Amino acid sequence: MTEALERAVVPPVSDADPFAHDVLVNPEPLHQALREAGPVVYLSRYDVHALARYEQVHAALVDWQHFESGSGVGLANFRHEKPWRPPSLLLEADPPRHDAPRRVLREILAPPALRRLREAWHTVAEDLVDQLLAGGTDFDGFTALAEAFPLRAFPDAVGLGPDGRENLLPYGNMAFNAFGPRNDLVAADAHRVAELSVWVNAQCEREALTEDGFGAAIWAAADRGDLTHEQAPLVVRSLLTAGVDTTVHGLAACLYAFATHPEEWQRLRERPELARAAFDEAVRWQSPVQTFFRTATTDVTIAGTLIPADTKILMFLGAANRDPDRWHDPDRFDLTRDPSGHVGFGMGLHQCIGQHVARLEAEALLTALARRVERIELTGTPHRHPNNTLRAWASLPVRVQPV
Amino acid sequence: MVGTSVVADAKSSFGKGQLAATLTVSAKENVAEGVVSLTLTHPSGARLPDWTPGSHIDLVLPEGTTRQYSLCGDRWDAYTYRIAVLREPAGRWGSPRSSEAESGGGSAYVHDRLRPGDRVGVGGPRNHFPLVPSEKYLFIAGGIGITPLLPMVRQAELLGADWQLLYGGRTRSSMAFREELTAAYGERVHVVPQDELGLLDLAAWLGTPRPDTRVYCCGPTPLLAAVEAACAAWPPYALRVERFTAGAQAAPVRDTPFEVELRRTGHTVTVTPDVSVLEAVRRAGADVLSSCEQGTCGTCLTPVLEGQPDHRDSVLADHERAANDCMFPCVSRSCGDRLVLDL
């Protein structure tokens, strides 16, 4: 046998189930155990290697040459299993096919291109907060703000028609469940797969989209030949899949953070320009997207452990974002921290292409709230919503003290 | 063991505090008459920023000149960049993205003085010449204009596209990568040395528009003009060219300190050549969110109130750069003595 294999480290083994309900709603104990067990841990239940330390997660995320996405970024290996829908041209693709869709969407969602939305979204957020406060000071922050704001802002920006928008969140929930094992969460979605897919796919067609949104810009890129016309609807689909639930739960993470850290809310009220950084700190602290998989393109070693070619590795973004070797006092939500470098949006070639959109939404909502609300506090137990990939919420009962 | 590779732990990106792109010349080779190729690596062995075919980098030479060169290596090798440099007499057309107008200085320095082990500054990579999806491609290279097309033909092959390369040059021996191309791709490559076969027969190749084909051309200005004329009847967007952009990057890259004023906090900091603007303003207490710190993700976008940034990112389009109203301080610097930022 060869030298590399002889030297290979046998990784610690865990039979934990990261996709069990109790772990999904409270993942930190497992994250800590996996980080402490070693740089690579073998998860016997799913026959995959897992990374929970920042250093290895970051290295694997940027190394698309050895850890590909085209075989799926969930547990299913598309080389051997049929995907539940045609794979994403962005998330589930590698160079060179990944290049053109990425380039087109990156330009459409780049900060300079988003400037035209800034004023409008601040107005949408102010109106939403005003209406909410006019109706009372006790409400479910999850539905009334975290869900309501992106649903008012984002579908308009994409250029969706008025009908059927209530399908967006269930579709996203389903897509993010589908990255996990075929467990009860996937089974619970099964009866809606066909219906929701039909609706989403219909919204991706040129005729369904307004002329001034992100969707129309994608079709215009196809007219210029920067994409093919076959690719255009799938790129629009990426916006609809990845752009709603993620932001909703990211905003919920912000509200939860501020409701449980009143001193940080005061800091934000004094310095509203911290809103963007506060969102990133909340994304670090809660990691709305908890996990993604990659597939080894060749036999490759990570910290001495051999990852065989064509096998899956599971990257715990949430665990990396609280690795004490990378972050001081990582479990603390702290606006004085510089959250730069967190992997809540991923890193490298596939880093979240909509992150600037999400930051703009967060900036608009948090700024509007900071202007009108002196204090946010929980009035009951917040409820998580189990999802195989998302750190998701079901409710966030709060009371606010208007200014 | 064949097929096993080791991932360099913790060396996955440029570290903080280093000038984002000082690379080492790890090899220099003659690849044709008057053409040398340079292999560039990170001094610490780190990964280099990802790139796509058609990308170029700014090469900042130790004597102070900045020239642009297309990347012509293998993007699957994350640890090295390859460029090819034509020795250019002053005033002649030259390598596709170099601006040799003043003195021929950059290429002469590379040919005569630059040695393996030397350090060079690198900006980018940026791509204004991306390969768009198509079932068929016609690539047309003139001389050193082969460089951006080299990774493109490899990619076209990988994608299973139907492609042809028309490669003209003065003489066979002056045509870089000619043997490598014909060995790898055989009849897809048509080598046309002018002294043996005359000029490229563009009318024969481009006379009839083919809506299913994209034409990519890089080379001297007369060739671009001839190809544009020959493609006049082709559908819009069928032709993509890489232009010789003398002076487009005329901004001098300072190797001296400059000042950055943070308008909102009232602080002024001096940015020395060994630190990024991002690092300097953070030291002064400014909160700037960043992520990749390679000028690719766009997170650290900062409004510029006064001064002219030396844009070194991969995000902004040319017209956005020219507006001088924002910059990415993780890699971009200042052209003048002073910048004022909205921080």
List the CATH number of the domain containing B57: 2.40.30.10
Q: Would the CB atoms of A351 and B237 count as touching at under 8 Å? A: no
CA distances from B144 to A303, A398, B82, B227, B317 (A): 42, 66, 14, 17, 25
Q: What residues in B contact A63, CB-CB < 8 Å?
A: 7, 12, 47, 78
Q: What stretches of A243-381 show up as alpha helix (H) in DSSP?
A: 245-260, 262-270, 275-286, 317-320, 355-372
Residue B10: pLDDT band with limits 50, 70, 90: very low
| β partners of residue B306 | B340
Q: What is the dihedral of CA B156, B157, B160, B165, to 10 degrees?
A: 70
State the residue range of the domain holding A162. Answer: 3-402
Q: Is the pLDDT of residue B28 over 80?
A: yes
Query: Which domain-ending residue is among B242, B271, B296?
Result: B242
Say how far apart CA B328 and CA B309 lie, in whole Å.
9
pLDDT, average across residues A59-74: 98
Q: What residues in B contact A303, CB-CB < 8 Å?
A: 9
Q: Are residues B337 and B299 in the same domain?
A: yes
Question: Residue B87 in contact with residue B111, Cβ under 8 Å?
Answer: yes
Counting one residue from A and one from B, how many pairs have CB atoms under 8 Å apart? Answer: 125
Element (H, E) at A51: strand A48-51
pLDDT more than 90, % of chain B: 63
Residue A5: pLDDT band with limits 50, 70, 90: low
- Which residue do the tokens 């990964």 mark? B47
Buried b / exposed e over A236-258, threshold 16 CB at 10 Å, is bbbbbbbbbbbbbbbbbbbbbbb
Q: What residues in B contact A59, CB-CB < 8 Å?
A: 7-10, 12
Rounded to a whole number of angstroms, the distance from the CA of A234 to the nearest CA of chain B is 15
The CB-side HSE value for A311 (13 A sphere, CA atoms) comes to: 15
Q: Which of A383, A361, A394, A286 is nearest to A128 (CA)?
A: A361
Buried b / exposed e over A311-327, threshold 16 CB at 10 Å, is bbbbbbbbbbbbbeebb
DSSP state of B11: -
Backbone angles phi, psi at A168, to 5 degrees: -60, -50
Q: Minimal Cα distance from B135: which residue of A?
A: A228
Rounded to a whole number of angstroms, the distance from the CA of B40 to the nearest CA of chain A is 19
Q: Is the pLDDT of residue B236 over 60?
A: yes
Q: Is the pLDDT of residue A7 over 90?
A: no
Q: Are residues B214 and B173 in the same domain?
A: yes
Model pLDDT, residue A328: 98
Residue of B1, B7, B159 with shortest CB distance to A302? B7
Q: Would the CB atoms of A355 and B297 count as touching at under 8 Å? A: yes
Question: Residue A166 in contact with residue A195, Cβ under 8 Å?
Answer: no
Element (H, E) at A386: strand A383-386
Q: Are residues B276 and B199 in the same domain?
A: no
- Which residue do the tokens 């001839």 mark? B226
Q: Are residues B198 and B147 in the same domain?
A: yes
B29 assigned to some structural domain: yes
B8 assigned to some structural domain: no
Instruction: State ipTM.
Output: 0.92
Residue of B5, B299, B320 with shortest CB distance to A66? B5
B250 assigned to some structural domain: no
Q: Which of A288, A275, A284, A280 is nearest to A364 (CA)?
A: A275
Element (H, E) at A374: strand A373-378
Count of structural domains within chain A:
1
Question: Residue A158 in contact with residue A243, Cβ under 8 Å?
Answer: yes
Q: Would the CB atoms of A111 and B132 count as touching at under 8 Å? A: no
Q: Are residues B158 and B226 in the same domain?
A: yes
Q: Is the pLDDT of residue B12 over 60?
A: no
Q: How far is CA B9 from the centre of its chain?
A: 28
CA distances from B125 to B50, B139, B334 (A): 8, 22, 18
Model pLDDT, residue B98: 43
Find the CATH number of the domain harbouring A64. 1.10.630.10
B193 assigned to some structural domain: yes
Count of structural domains within chain B:
3
pLDDT, average across residues A259-287: 97
Over the stretch A99-144, which tens digit does the pLDDT of each residue have? 999 999 999 999 888 988 999 999 999 999 999 999 999 999 999 9
Say how far apart CA B39 and CA B84 lie, in whole Å.
9
B12 assigned to some structural domain: no
Q: What residues in A contact B298, CB-CB < 8 Å?
A: 110-111, 356
Say how far apart CA B334 and CA B341 lie, in whole Å.
11
Provide, for chain A, the percentages of residues in helix, strand and coil under a 3-state DSSP scheme, each rounded to the nearest 5.
50, 15, 35
Q: What residues in B contact A114, CB-CB < 8 Å?
A: none
Model pLDDT, residue B15: 35
Q: Is the pLDDT of residue A389 over 80?
A: yes
Find the CATH number of the domain harbouring B277. 3.10.20.30
Q: What residues in A contact B289, CB-CB < 8 Å?
A: 276-277, 280, 338-340
Model pLDDT, residue B105: 65
B106 assigned to some structural domain: yes
Q: Please tell me whether the overall predicted TM-score, pTM, comes out greater than 0.95 for this model.
A: no
Element (H, E) at A231: helix A231-242
Over the stretch B301-319, which tens digit does the pLDDT of each residue have? 899 999 999 888 877 777 7
Per the structure block, which two tokens stand in for A297? 């393109």
Q: What residues in B contact A301, CB-CB < 8 Å?
A: 4-7
Element (H, E) at A131: helix A111-134
B287 assigned to some structural domain: yes
Average pLDDT over chain B, rounded to whole? Answer: 85
Residue A6: pLDDT band with limits 50, 70, 90: low
The least confident of A263-277, B85-99, B235-249 is B85-99
Which positions ≥6 away from B185 have C-beta within 8 Å?
A: B153, B157, B165
Query: Which domain-ending residue is among B127, B146, B175?
Result: B127
pLDDT more than 70, % of chain B: 86
Secondary structure of residue A13 in the 3-state scheme = strand
Per the structure block, which two tokens stand in for B252? 């001098």
Query: Which domain-ending residue is among B86, B108, B127?
Result: B127
Which positions ≥6 away from A273 have C-beta within 8 Å?
A: B287
Which positions ≥6 away from A328 have C-beta within 8 Å?
A: A337
Q: Minimal Cα distance from B328: which residue of A?
A: A111
Query: What's the per-residue H, E or C state across A157-195?
Result: HHCCCCCCHHHHHHHHHHHHHCCCCCCHHHHHHHHHHHH
Provide, for chain B, the percentages of residues in helix, strand and coil under a 3-state DSSP scheme, each rounded to the nearest 5.
20, 30, 50
pLDDT, average across residues B92-108: 52
Q: Would the CB atoms of B291 and A2 count as touching at under 8 Å? A: no
Residue of B5, B52, B214 with shortest CB distance to A225? B214
Q: Most B CBs within 10 Å: which of A57, A99, A349, as the mutation test of the B interface? A: A99
Residue of B237, B289, B320 with shortest CB distance to A277? B289
The least confident of A75-79, A389-393, B170-174, B238-242 is B238-242
State the residue range of the domain holding B102. Answer: 22-127
CA distances from A75 to A50, A66, A102 (A): 12, 17, 23
Rounded to a whole number of angstroms, the distance from the CA of A75 to the nearest CA of chain B is 22
